[in-house]
């Protein structure tokens, strides 16, 4: 198995045990290693994507736009501009003579057509090289159309996904402070870092509403430009997700003094803790009592159902590989509720602090890995005899090919996994995949002696 | 819903009066003169007809034809980027790792896109270029990437495609690889390295696909003693298509080298070990000998002069037979006729049987599809072939659209539908789904035929989407869709007819359980 691990990456893999914890991270991906990471553009695109009343124009050749068309399960309660894919589709002559004119014309055309509240213009690799002045074009178009036109400096090669989060936050921050903040409640928050996959933010908002908390802006799930413009009027920024919107919270804190708390809405403890943290911040006993009541009511429904799943799943082993590490923390805890053990956990873009925390909450022997790849992941899944793997689209075929159950926890998913309802869905999905009789048929579980056992050469030769 | 096909008596007569040479031609009633004009029944001939037509009526619009709006911005593109096609082609070669010289995101996005269709792992390596590399060049990363891929994947071949980034910063791949080969210690593995230039600002994924194939041929093919194999350059077909193709060639006892062959590499069995490189694909040893083959069969009506087949013809004098993708009866007949000529054998009974059952099925279902209006989109070669098939079963392809821009699309669609359609289909190159939707709404279609990205349009118009091609992202089994041959036509026809029957059934206030 170790032959599948690159020498250069040894420091990015840790097995919890006697050796003191040390994990290298935040490094550039190793060339040739088939990293599961994407790029700066991807980071910006995922963060801003759910803002539903803005035009999101990708300035570059067609690839970057077409691969992100309707890619997220981020729902909107109103406009759905975010589900369209806009591109300047740069051609050879644009690359030679510059794409500014085309960008200008495209922006005017799209703004005329859709009357959006704002436009985000994403820079791609090539724009960084040919030197189009995005800033200037955006400024001109903003003056001509009267809406904010915001450049996003997301050239793919300028770092990894985290740099893209920052670029997105910098772009959004230009909107903050331009809206009217009168009539905002004392008990008000912005929800940052939830993207309303399968309608999750509606659920979270409802919990907060039941506690008497006003939500000013969703950043960015079911997001609206006008809400972001006035989000500096909220009393507290509640931030989920490792790094995606933290930069924005910090920028707002710096300029407007808005305090920040970090939360997670995945899993029972973390969801409850999020509500309590907000109540505690406002030092309002009544609000805390309401939060406790919500948790009590929700658990009354949830816990009896979880029992059934737990009975079936106890002792099964899980592996986790996600984009940001925050999801991994909650998942480790969520699996405990199902009686399952996490034997491998990793992320594309975790920080030193993230991995330290993972080290603390996982069991002995657990593999912790940064910026992994298919060769490593497949060898870990096999070594640990994993029953279910949690990840995104790129991880799914690795699990399935090896005959291992899978739970999609990426941004394409159509199932709500946040909140107490989300925990129920999560348990259902894990149960539904792990308990499928299909795993009895896969080569991994077939006795060696069976004639029909699918050995590769025989299969291929027979075709 | 009006059960009667919406077509006037006059037009019916016009249709019936169509000269037989332009109607579905059975093997028995072909025009021998036409055959003698070219030894390549099929595409070449289509190309000639197409050229003539285009020359005769430059820019003229058929009666009742609307105008496609043209926008500066692209909304919901109907094409993918060039390196993706190259990666797909490389994936169909035995022992090959596709490699992108660019930033990390390109490889990851394309993997994600491809995985969502095939539900198979596809490891695409990347130079993972960072900011410094963009300024000082990506050579060092490329070398390191190649070393890492060689060490872990032990490939026979690494197919290196460029990206817009590395094309624009001007990395000289030939030079970097020349240096790399010199630098690799003799005891270290050195796979064959093939590069292809695929800046996504110049062409779609199909240009990338064909460019990769051409690059493989021009790098690997050697002067070889003549042998009995047939080369097949199928273009971008599904694994199911390729499996049928292989079966057909075996049935004709014609040994064939199919390049690329993704039938196993992108549709493999469940395993208990992760294969670093999936088994299958066109063997390199076979590719090297393609210059000695008896003939090349190349599918595609809009290919240009720099195709793989043309290369083999010009360099090694391998006769090139360019055919329309064998979708539908006429195009499949042409393919089988060619195989009969090449093998000197009659079409095996099982395919005659399949053809017979197909005709029988078309008769059974003809009323349900006749006069129905279809919108088609996707890769140009696929759309051309589908348009021909629809026309021959009585469905009107009212709109044929593609994000590609070969310059040959309109003429080739016109050629394959000539005499079979009430009106010539509106045909547009270089268009996106926003434009397709605008025209489609004006044309009141009954069904849509294309990949998953037309779903929103189908939903909006509340008409069926018959899923074909790539990508199929909203259903499982995209890799198992069979398009070609009599069997493929049968499956497509059944789907189309049943979709039309279902529309009528669902809209009926009564909901009969008989047709």
pLDDT tens digits along A409-455: 988 888 899 999 999 999 999 999 999 999 999 998 876 545 555 44
Mean pLDDT of chain A: 93
**What is the average pLDDT across A126-148?**
96
Of the residues A31, A373, A453, A455, the best mutation for testing chain B's interface (the one with the most B CB atoms within 10 Å of its CB) is: A31
Cα distances (Å, whole numbers) of residue A294 to A201, A289, A331, B44: 16, 9, 22, 72
Mean pLDDT of B194-210: 97
pLDDT class for A324, splitting at 50, 70, 90? Answer: confident
Q: What is the pLDDT of residues A326-371, one digit of tens each?
A: 889 999 999 999 999 999 999 998 999 999 999 999 999 999 999 9
pLDDT of residue A446: 75
Contacts of B141 in chain A (CB under 8 A): 31
Max Cα distance, chain B (Å): 78
| pLDDT score, position A243 | 76
Does residue B309 or residue B57 have the better pLDDT?
A: B309
Which pLDDT band, with edges at 50, 70 and 90, does B422 fall under? confident
Whether B141 sits inside 8 A of A87 (CB atoms) is no
Residue A223 — pLDDT band, cuts 50, 70, 90? very high
Residue keyed to tokens 């094409």: B79
Q: Which fold has domain A188-293?
A: Rossmann fold (3.40.50)
Name chain B contacts of A116, Cβ cutoff 8 Å.
none
Query: How high is the mean pLDDT of chain B?
Result: 89
**Spelled out in words, what is the top-level CATH class assigned to the domain A40-173?**
alpha beta
Instruction: Identify the residue with better confidence: B12 or B131.
Output: B131
pLDDT at B149 over 60: yes
| Pairwise CB contact (< 8 Å): A65 & B116 | no
Residues of B with Cβ-Cβ distance to A124 under 8 angstroms: 164
Please say if the pLDDT value at position B259 is more than 80: yes
Residue A303 has pLDDT above 60, yes or no: yes
> Between the CA of residue A49 and those of A291, B24, B295, what are the distances in Å?
31, 49, 51
Instruction: Report residue B25's pLDDT band, with 50, 70 and 90 as the boundaries.
Output: very low
- Per-residue pLDDT tens over the stretch B272-306: 899 999 999 999 999 999 999 999 999 999 999 99
Residues in B closer than 8 angstroms to A6, CB to CB, are 148, 151-152
**How many angstroms from the chain centroid is the CA of residue A357?**
19
Interface ipTM? 0.95
Residue B190, SS3? coil
Q: Is the peptide bond before B260 cis (omega within 30 degrees of 0)?
A: yes
Tell which B residues from 403 to 432 touch A, by Cβ distance under 8 Å.
403
Please indicate whether, in this complex, the C-beta atoms of B126 and A60 are within 8 angstroms of each other: no
Strand partners, B125: B99
Structure tokens at B462: 């509340």
Mutate to test the interface with B, among A26, A36, A66, A408 (most CBs of B within 10 A): A66
Residue of B nearest to A43 (CA): B105
Give the pLDDT of residue A410. Answer: 85
Looking at residue B49, its pLDDT comes to 38
- Torsion sign over Cα B471, B473, B478, B479: positive
Check if A96 contacts B (Cβ < 8 Å).
no
Cα separation, B164 vs B141, whole angstroms:
16
The CATH homologous superfamily of the domain defined by B9-37+349-507: Nitrogenase molybdenum iron protein domain (3.40.50.1980)
Listed in sequence order, the residues at least 6 apart from A64 whose beta carbon sits closer than 8 Å to its beta carbon are A41, A45, A58, A87, A122, A124, A156, B105, B109
Chain B residues 257-316 within an 8 A CB cutoff of chain A: 263-264, 268-276, 279-280
Radius of gyration (C-alpha) of chain B in whole angstroms = 23
Is 50 exceeded by the pLDDT of residue B58?
Answer: no
Q: Is A100 on the interface with B (CB under 8 A)?
A: no
Check: CB of residue A250 under 8 Å from CB of residue A226: no
A38 to B105: CB separation less than 8 angstroms, yes or no: yes
pTM of the model: 0.91
- The b/e string for A98-133 (b: 16+ C-beta within 10 A; e otherwise) is bbbebbbebbbbbbeebebbbbbbbbbbbbbbbebe
For A28-57, write each residue's pLDDT tens digit.
999 999 999 999 999 999 999 999 999 999
pLDDT at B363: 98
Q: Which CATH number fits domain B76-266+276-323: 3.30.420.10, 3.20.20.140, 3.40.50.1980, 3.30.365.10?
A: 3.40.50.1980
Per domain, the residue ranges of chain A are 40-173, 188-293
Buried b / exposed e along B432-445 (16+ C-beta atoms within 10 A): bbbbbbebbeebeb
For residue B15, give Cα distances in angstroms to A127, A283, B53, B365: 53, 81, 20, 19
Output the pLDDT for position A452.
54
CB-based contact, A211 to chain B, within 8 Å = no
- For residue B82, pLDDT over 60 is answered with yes
**What phi-psi label fits residue A396: left (phi over 0), alpha (psi between -120 and 50 degrees) or beta?**
alpha
State residue B27's pLDDT score.
37
Q: Which long-range contacts (CB under 8 A, 24 or more apart) does B308-317 make?
A: B308/B210, B308/B213, B308/B214, B308/B217, B308/B233, B308/B259, B309/B231, B309/B233, B311/B214, B311/B217, B311/B218, B312/B217, B312/B221, B312/B231, B315/B218, B315/B221, B315/B291, B316/B221, B316/B223, B316/B224, B316/B290, B316/B291, B316/B292
Give the gap in angstroms from C-alpha A245 to the nearest C-alpha of chain B.
20
pLDDT tens-place string over residues A77-119: 999 999 999 999 999 999 999 999 999 999 999 999 999 999 9
Question: CB distance A398–B121 less than 8 Å?
Answer: yes
* Per-residue confidence (pLDDT) for residue B66, from 0 to 100: 57
Closest to B165 (Cβ–Cβ): which among A35, A129, A443? A129
Q: Say if residues B372 and B493 touch (Cβ distance below 8 Å).
A: no
Alpha carbon of B191: minimum distance to chain A alpha carbons (Å): 14
Least Cα distance to B292 among B324, B314, B258, B317 occurs for B317
- Least CA distance to B150: which residue of chain A? A32
Give the C-alpha separation, A37 to A24, whole Å. 16
Question: Cβ B120–A397 below 8 Å, yes or no?
Answer: yes
What band does B45 get if pLDDT is binned at 50, 70 and 90? very low
Q: Is A439 on the interface with B (CB under 8 A)?
A: no
**Hey, of A5, A36, A63, which one would you mutate to test binding to chain B, going by the most B CBs within 10 A of its CB?**
A63
Mean predicted confidence (pLDDT) in B413-417:
96
Indicate the domain borders of chain B. Answer: 9-37+349-507, 76-266+276-323
CB atoms A84 and B75 under 8 Å: yes
How many whole angstroms separate alpha carbon B8 and alpha carbon A462? Answer: 53
Residue A163 in contact with partner chain B when CB distance is under 8 A? no
Q: Evaluate if residue A214 carries a pLDDT over 60.
A: yes
pLDDT of residue A347: 95
Contact map slice: B 67-106 vs A, CB within 8 A? 71-77, 79-84, 99, 102-106
Residues of B in contact with A162 (CB under 8 A): none
Is residue A283's pLDDT more than 80?
yes
Contact A403 B270 (CB under 8 A): yes
């Amino acid at each position: 198995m170790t032959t599948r691990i690159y020498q250069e990456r040894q420091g990015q893999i840790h097995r919890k045990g006697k050796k003191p914890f040390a994990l290298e991270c935040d490094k550039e991906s190793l060339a040739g290693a088939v990293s599961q990471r994407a790029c700066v553009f991807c980071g910006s695109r995922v963060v801003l994507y759910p803002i539903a009343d803005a035009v999101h124009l990708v300035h570059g050749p067609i690839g970057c736009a077409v691969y992100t068309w309707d890619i997220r399960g981020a729902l909107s309660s109103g406009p759905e501009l975010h589900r369209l894919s806009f591109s300047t589709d740069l051609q050879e002559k644009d690359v030679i003579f510059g794409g500014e004119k085309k960008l200008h014309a495209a922006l005017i055309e799209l703004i005329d057509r859709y009357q959006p509240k704002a436009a985000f213009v994403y820079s791609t690799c090539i724009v960084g090289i040919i030197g189009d002045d995005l800033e200037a074009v955006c400024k001109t178009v903003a003056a001509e159309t009267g809406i904010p036109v915001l450049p996003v400096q997301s050239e793919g090669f300028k770092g990894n996904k985290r740099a893209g989060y920052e670029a997105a936050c910098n772009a959004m921050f230009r909107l903050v402070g331009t809206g009217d903040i009168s009539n905002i409640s004392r008990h008000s928050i912005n929800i940052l870092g939830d993207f309303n996959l399968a309608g999750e933010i509606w659920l979270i908002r409802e919990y907060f509403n039941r506690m008497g908390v006003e939500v000013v802006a969703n950043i960015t799930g079911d997001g609206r430009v006008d809400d972001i413009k006035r989000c500096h009027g909220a009393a507290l920024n509640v931030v989920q997700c490792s790094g995606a919107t933290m930069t924005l919270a910090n920028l707002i804190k710096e300029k407007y003094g808005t305090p920040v708390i970090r939360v997670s809405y995945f899993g029972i403890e973390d969801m409850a803790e999020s509500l309590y943290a907000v109540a505690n911040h406002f030092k309002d006993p009544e609000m805390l009592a309401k939060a406790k009541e919500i948790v009590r009511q929700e658990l009354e429904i949830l816990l009896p159902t979880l029992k059934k799943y737990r009975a079936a799943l106890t002792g099964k082993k899980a592996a986790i590989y996600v984009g940001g590490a925050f999801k991994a923390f909650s998942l480790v805890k969520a699996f405990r509720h199902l009686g399952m053990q996490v034997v491998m956990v990793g992320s594309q873009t975790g920080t030193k602090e993230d991995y330290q925390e993972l080290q603390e909450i996982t069991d002995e022997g657990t593999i912790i890995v940064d910026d992994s790849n298919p060769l490593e992941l497949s060898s870990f899944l096999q070594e640990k005899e994993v029953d279910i793997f949690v990840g995104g689209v790129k991880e799914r075929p690795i699990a399935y090919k090896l005959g291992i159950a899978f739970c999609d926890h990426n941004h394409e998913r159509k199932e709500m996994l946040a909140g107490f309802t989300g925990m129920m869905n999560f348990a259902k999905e894990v149960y539904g995949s792990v308990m499928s009789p299909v795993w009895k048929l896969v080569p991994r579980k077939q006795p060696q002696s069976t004639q029909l056992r699918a050995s590769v050469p025989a299969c291929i030769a027979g075709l | 819903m009006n059960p009667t096909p919406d077509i006037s008596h006059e037009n019916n007569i016009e249709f019936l009066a169509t000269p037989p040479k332009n109607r579905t031609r059975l093997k028995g009633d072909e025009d021998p003169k036409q055959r003698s004009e070219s030894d390549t029944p099929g595409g070449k001939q289509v190309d000639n007809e197409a050229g003539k037509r285009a020359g005769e009526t430059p820019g003229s619009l058929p009666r009742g034809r609307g105008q496609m709006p043209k926008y500066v911005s692209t909304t919901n593109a109907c094409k993918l980027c060039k390196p993706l096609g190259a990666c797909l082609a490389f994936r169909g070669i035995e022992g090959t790792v596709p490699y992108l010289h660019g930033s990390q995101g390109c490889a990851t996005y394309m993997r994600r896109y491809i995985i969502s269709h095939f539900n198979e792992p596809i490891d695409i390596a990347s130079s993972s270029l960072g900011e410094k590399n963009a300024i000082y060049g990506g050579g060092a990363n490329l070398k390191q990437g190649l070393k890492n891929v060689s060490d872990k994947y032990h490939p026979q071949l690494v197919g290196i495609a460029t990206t817009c980034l590395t094309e624009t910063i001007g990395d000289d791949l030939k030079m970097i690889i020349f240096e790399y080969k010199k630098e690799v210690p003799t005891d270290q593995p050195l796979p064959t390295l093939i590069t292809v230039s695929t800046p996504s600002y110049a062409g779609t994924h199909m240009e990338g696909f064909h460019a990769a194939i051409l690059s493989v041929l021009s790098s690997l093919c050697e002067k070889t003693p003549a042998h009995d194999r047939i080369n097949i350059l199928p273009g971008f077909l599904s694994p199911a298509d390729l499996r049928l193709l292989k079966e057909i060639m075996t049935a004709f006892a014609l040994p064939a080298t199919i390049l690329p062959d993704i039938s196993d590499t992108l549709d493999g069995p469940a395993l208990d070990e992760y294969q670093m490189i999936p088994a299958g694909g066109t063997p390199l040893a076979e590719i090297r000998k393609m210059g000695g083959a008896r003939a090349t069969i190349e599918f595609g009506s809009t290919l240009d002069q720099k195709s793989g087949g043309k290369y083999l013809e010009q360099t090694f004098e391998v006769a090139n037979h360019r055919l329309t993708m064998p979708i539908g009866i006429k195009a499949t007949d042409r393919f089988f006729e060619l195989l009969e000529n090449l093998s000197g054998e009659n079409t095996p009974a099982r395919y005659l049987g399949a053809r017979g059952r197909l005709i029988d099925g078309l008769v059974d279902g003809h009323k349900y599809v006749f006069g129905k209006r279809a919108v088609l989109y996707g890769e140009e070669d696929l759309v051309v072939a589908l348009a021909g098939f629809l026309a021959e079963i009585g469905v009107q392809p009212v709109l044929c659209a593609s994000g590609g821009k070969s310059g040959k699309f309109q003429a080739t669609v016109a050629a394959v539908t000539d005499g079979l359609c009430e009106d010539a289909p509106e045909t547009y190159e270089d268009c996106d789904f926003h434009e397709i939707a605008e025209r489609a709404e004006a044309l009141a279609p009954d069904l849509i035929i294309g990949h998953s990205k037309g779903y929103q349009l189908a939903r909006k118009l509340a008409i069926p989407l018959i899923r074909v091609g790539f990508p199929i992202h909203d259903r499982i089994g995209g890799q198992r869709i069979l398009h070609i041959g009599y069997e493929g036509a049968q499956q497509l026809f059944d789907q189309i007819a049943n979709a039309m029957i279902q529309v009528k059934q669902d809209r009926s206030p009564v909901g009969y359980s008989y047709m």
